[in-house]
Amino acid sequence: MNAARTRFYRDKANGKFMGVCAGIADYTGFEVLWVRLAVVVATVCGMGFVPVIYLALGFLSHDKPNSLYADAEEQKFWQGVRQSPTRTAREVRAQFRDIDRRLAEVEAFYVSSNPRLSAEIENLRG
């Protein structure tokens, strides 16, 4: 697993103050608005440890690298890995099985319509 893509970063580019809520949103895949709202509600409801944790994360965590994800699809994939690594591995295996099945269908199509190619593949196997 790629450690750089599975760790928590502050996201100052999308953040308002220190980028902690944007970093949490990026890490979990939630919308940043809901993360900010949860932090505000928790603070207002008397959870005094929330601002302390927020500041600690703001000072102790690293800034998000600019080239962490190539595109939005890659970002969504890594968020899925962080949320459920076993589910993501299962999905990747299923995609490889599907690719293997489709390649077998292509091979069967070309081999069945070309006896010379079929004989050559059998020679390679044996």
pLDDT tens digits, residue range 57-104? 778 777 776 666 666 677 677 666 666 667 777 777 888 888 988 888
Q: Which of 3-7, 61-65, 92-96, 119-123 has the lowest mean pLDDT?
A: 3-7
Helices (H), 1-126: 3-6, 20-28, 32-44, 49-60, 72-83, 85-113, 115-125
Q: CA-to-CA distance for 96 and 51, rounded, in angstroms?
A: 45
Q: How many CB atoms lie within 10 A of CB 30?
A: 14
Above 80 in pLDDT, residue 109?
no
Place of tokens 């044996």: 126
Predicted TM-score (pTM) of the model is 0.50
The one-character DSSP state at 14 is: T
- At 117, the pLDDT band (50, 70, 90 cuts) reads confident
Collapsing DSSP states into helix, strand and coil, what is residue 36? helix
Above 70 in pLDDT, residue 29?
yes
CA-based torsion, 73, 71, 11, 32: positive or negative? negative
Q: Are 33 and 21 in contact (CB under 8 A)?
A: no
Domain ranges (residues) in the chain = 1-83, 84-126
Does 19 or 88 have the greater pLDDT score?
A: 19
- Rounded mean pLDDT of 38-46? 82
What confidence score (pLDDT) does residue 104 get? Answer: 84
Q: CA-to-CA distance for 113 and 102, rounded, in angstroms?
A: 17
